[in-house]
Amino acid sequence: MSLQKYNQKRNFTATDEPQGKVDRSESELIFVVQKHAASHLHYDFRLEMEGVLKSWAVPKGPSLDPEIKRLAMMVEDHPYSYKDFEGNIPEGNYGAGNVIVWDNGIYLPSDEDFKGTAENKLLADLAKGHLSFTLKGKKLKGDFSLVKLKGKQENAWLLIKKEDKYVSKDDILVKDKSVISKLSLDILEKQKAKNVKEKIVGKKQLNDAKAGVDIKNNSSKEALVFHKPMLAGLVEKPFDNADWVFENKYDGYRTLAVINDENVQLFSRNEISFTKNFKAVADDLQKLNHRVILDGEVVVEDESGRSNFQLLQNYLKTGKGKIKYYVFDILNLDGSDTTQLTLLERKELLQLLLAKFKFSAVFYSDHIHEKGIDFLALAAKKESEGIIAKKADSVYSIGKRTGDWLKIKLSQQEEAVIIGITEPKNSRSYFGALLLGQYENGILKFIGKCGTGFTQETLKELHAKFAPHFIKESPLEEKVPLRDKIQWIKPKFICQVKFAEWTQDNHLRQPVYLGLRIDKKAKEVSFAGKNKETVMEQNKEEMEKKESAETENDYDLKVGKTTLHLTNQNKIYFPDDAVTKGDVVNYYSEISDLILPYLKDRPQSMYRFPSGINQTGFYQKDVDLDKIPSWLKTEKIFSESNNAAIDYLICNDKATLLFMANLGCIDINPWNSTIRHIDNPDWVVIDIDPEKDDFKEVVKTALAVKEVMDSFETECYCKTSGASGLHVYIPLGGKYDYDSVKLFAELIARVVNSKLPETTTLERSIKKRNHKIYIDYLQNRKGQTLVAPYSVRPKPGATVSTPLEWSEVNAKLSPSQFTIKNVIKRFEKKGDLWKPVLGKGADIKAVIENIS
């Protein structure tokens, strides 16, 4: 009975789950079944014993049919108070997802002929691995058994319905509502979204704020930073759809506002600062007493209220005109990320927020539902730029162009790169026309010349800007079909033009200059001529290729000169933590420089979990040379257990490391010696292996090892096992053979055991250990392997075997605190703490003499 593991896995400041305390029913024992939508839907079956809830995860849920035997994986004990827990376990926490109490009631042993208490009978049967009981629940009734599977994973059981009057072929799981709240998981999920929204900034809070009440929540106080905005695709025709909303398309500069207290910064879509350019907007936004990231468009409107890009250009030069910031989205509020709320939820928050303050330059961008065709017709009457269609339930995809947002244009406008000017004629001064281009597949393509839309002042200003960037050679690969005298310009300036149509040869017809753009780079101006649909598809394909490493299940990855074919990257490897195979591969890619020195030239015993950690893994030593890529390095070594020479994989580079991870090798297990001196290990390993959850005693044992080694003036180093123990390594430098090293390890273990006889043992047999901590020195035999530093472990939480500073080996240390999700920052900060293990090494003879 222990709730230590339960408490270690949970951060109670971030989850509403009850803290682990022992409690019990006054009379009859209770049971509860909770339906849990974590990374995979499952049912948690819990039986009260010894003041806790003994717990099993049943992936397919209980059945009333005796012929159906359900797999049940025993998990850590849960506190008694967990019996009433319903709600949401937030993302980033162990078991994140929604939970309802699917069934509850009382239970007792099926066999009524027993001595002592019902609880003692049940505990005795539990220890035997065969537990029979009668459930008196609201849904589950009658006799059931839990039977432990032999030869399988240690925690694998079967949940079986026994023959009685409650047997049924009907699916009991269709009764999907909570017996407490009467809510289903689907309804709970909808409530969760609503609760998240209200938690971030609810209507009541905003009303309080109007009355002068401070509503800032306790979310992260870290400064908010710029994020690239979500972008819209392009569609030709308007449409009506009840699942979509439609907004006005503005003719201005896309602008993100990042506000930290009174510090307001405005950015273009490419993080160019707009703060000085649009000072009136920045000053207006200082009224907000929130930290917030807003997304919108800065415009200048004409007398009819229509946004006009030329007027905005004049404003940038003269400061004349009424500038407005139309805000249509919100990415963060007071440290709370809002991007995963639906569009309509985000817009509701935004509208409520902006309504609190009296702005002069900041406006909420409204929308209409469903009627896209009529809205475009109205935009045409107003001579507007067009409209934007947005899916009502879409999330905000940072930095991505998706089909959830679509542009529907009325006027023909394009961005173009200025690549040259022609000689002025007649009364025109400075230059005659601009030569324009766009990039297609990285090659600059000529799309025509623009000779209208300029004032005399504009001609002068542009020529002055261009002059320092005049070049002799054309930046185009093609020849321009013009007789004009041309002055070429380095392709750096971008302009906005409106035009009548694209010609058959993909040139602009009747383009009119509107102004320079300062929010883009020239290379981003892509060709969109008459065959623009084809080009859009090509661009989409290119974008999908670039994003494939994040989104595709299978893809090719080039590592140095080697191309790896990675497969099934979306497969869930750690169900309770939503960690995928791709996450494991990416982790090893990021820490390859750290782990490879401890793998180089060492035979690998691959511990593979191709179906994830909830399925039985297996060790693979011998690789089939006919089935692996020829570039992999192997070494033929005699194996005593196989009584033959086998081909071990040697991991000397990043490509091999990722190849192993792609095989499902979560746990990296190298030999203690290298093929350069195969009989001489590089270190001594003291493996401190507890039978029960008593990590404080594990820490005391590790500190005892250090105390012993300090007395011999010999350095040693500690790391978490990534499971329940600690590993202490003593560097040797490959100077001694395995027999000598094993003897040395045994001597150290005996000295430590003599210091802690009440809590430690050298007894190898589990039955004879009497629940003491095993000091395992037998890991120092030839061919034995131990998990490498920085390796992921096939344990809940996706824990990592992490090198420690000795000052960290204390009562606060937890075996599960270092995981795949948090160790990268630690490694970046602390560097490679394990590096001395490959150093010169200890003098065994001197230490043995000292021990003697």
Tens-digit pLDDT profile for residues 357-409: 999 999 999 999 999 999 998 988 887 878 999 999 899 999 888 888 999 88
Mean pLDDT of the chain: 87
Is there a single domain that holds both residue 324 and residue 374?
Answer: yes
Q: From CA 220, how far away is CA 223, in angstroms rounded? A: 9
Q: At which residue do the structure tokens 């309804």 appear?
A: 187
Q: Residue 580 is part of which domain span?
A: 562-667
pLDDT for the residue numbered 520: 81
Is there a single domain that holds both residue 692 and residue 836?
Answer: yes
Which of 187, 215, 241 is a domain's end point?
187
Domain assignment of residue 550, yes or no: no
pLDDT for the residue numbered 704: 95
Is there a single domain that holds both residue 91 and residue 168?
Answer: yes
Is there a single domain that holds both residue 143 and residue 118?
Answer: yes
602-641 tens-digit pLDDT: 999 989 998 889 888 888 888 888 888 989 999 999 877 6
pLDDT for the residue numbered 470: 97
274: pLDDT strictly greater than 70: yes
Is there a single domain that holds both residue 155 and residue 9?
Answer: yes
Is there a single domain that holds both residue 589 and residue 732?
Answer: no
Pairing type for strands 401-409 and 231-234 reads parallel
123: pLDDT strictly greater than 80: yes
Instruction: With CA atoms as reference, report the closest residue to 134 among 161, 171, 101.
Output: 161
pLDDT for the residue numbered 541: 41
Split into its structural domains, the chain has a count of 5
- 685 burial (CB, 10 Å; 0-12 / 13-18 / 19+) is buried
Domain assignment of residue 660, yes or no: yes
Is there a single domain that holds both residue 369 and residue 503?
Answer: no
Q: What is the CATH number of the domain that holds 312?
A: 3.30.470.30
pLDDT for the residue numbered 543: 38
pLDDT for the residue numbered 600: 95
**pLDDT class of 807 with cuts at 50, 70, 90:** very high
Q: CB 382: neighbour CB atoms within 10 A? A: 12
Q: From CA 605, how far away is CA 786, in angstroms rounded? A: 9
787: pLDDT strictly greater than 70: yes
Is there a single domain that holds both residue 40 and residue 135?
Answer: yes
**pLDDT class of 151 with cuts at 50, 70, 90:** low
Is there a single domain that holds both residue 584 and residue 663?
Answer: yes
Domain assignment of residue 673, yes or no: no
Residue type, 162: K
Q: Which residues contact 380 (CB under 8 A, 6 or more apart)?
A: 410
Q: Give 838's DSSP letter.
A: G
Q: Which residue has the higher pLDDT, 605 or 441?
A: 605
Q: What is the CATH number of the domain that holds 796?
A: 3.90.920.10
Q: From CA 381, how far away is CA 510, in angstroms rounded? A: 23
Percentage of the chain lying above the pLDDT 90 cut: 54
Is there a single domain that holds both residue 381 and residue 428?
Answer: no
pLDDT for the residue numbered 844: 85
Domain assignment of residue 198, yes or no: no
CB 645 within 8 A of CB 636: yes
pLDDT for the residue numbered 539: 40
Measured in residues, the chain has a length of 852
pLDDT for the residue numbered 593: 92
422: pLDDT strictly greater than 60: yes
Domain assignment of residue 82, yes or no: yes
pLDDT for the residue numbered 131: 93
**pLDDT class of 281 with cuts at 50, 70, 90:** very high
CB 391 within 8 A of CB 372: no
Q: Which residue has the higher pLDDT, 292 or 533?
A: 292
Domain assignment of residue 727, yes or no: yes
Q: Which residue has the higher pLDDT, 494 or 88?
A: 494
pLDDT for the residue numbered 198: 55
Q: At which residue do the structure tokens 């890619």 appear?
A: 589
Can you say whether residue 59 is alpha, beta or left, with left for phi > 0 and alpha for psi between -120 and 50 degrees?
alpha
**Could you give the 3-state DSSP secondary structure of residue 576?**
helix
Instruction: With CA atoms as reference, report the closest residue to 308 among 294, 297, 318.
Output: 297
Q: CB 320: neighbour CB atoms within 10 A? A: 10
175-214 tens-digit pLDDT: 999 999 888 888 877 666 555 555 444 444 444 434 333 3
818: pLDDT strictly greater than 80: yes
Q: CB 769: neighbour CB atoms within 10 A? A: 17
Give the range among 53-57, 82-86, 304-308, 730-734 with minimum mean pLDDT: 304-308
Which of 127, 161, 187 is a domain's end point?
187
**pLDDT class of 327 with cuts at 50, 70, 90:** very high
Is there a single domain that holds both residue 725 and residue 756?
Answer: yes
pLDDT for the residue numbered 310: 84
Domain assignment of residue 195, yes or no: no
Which of 667, 695, 720 is a domain's end point?
667
Q: Which residue blocks in 581-653 are alpha helix, DSSP H?
A: 581-590, 592-595
**Helix, strand and coil percent figures for the chain, each rounded to 5:** 25, 30, 45
pLDDT for the residue numbered 192: 60
What tokens were used for 831? 């560097």
Domain assignment of residue 51, yes or no: yes
Is there a single domain that holds both residue 284 and residue 388?
Answer: yes
Q: At which residue do the structure tokens 């746990």 appear?
A: 667
Pairing type for strands 362-364 and 760-761 reads unpaired
230-250 tens-digit pLDDT: 999 878 788 999 889 999 999
682-720 tens-digit pLDDT: 999 999 988 777 889 999 999 999 999 988 889 999 999
Q: What is the CATH number of the domain that holds 453?
A: 2.40.50.140
Q: From CA 759, how far away is CA 342, in angstroms rounded? A: 55
Q: From CA 534, how far away is CA 550, in angstroms rounded? A: 25
pLDDT for the residue numbered 548: 39
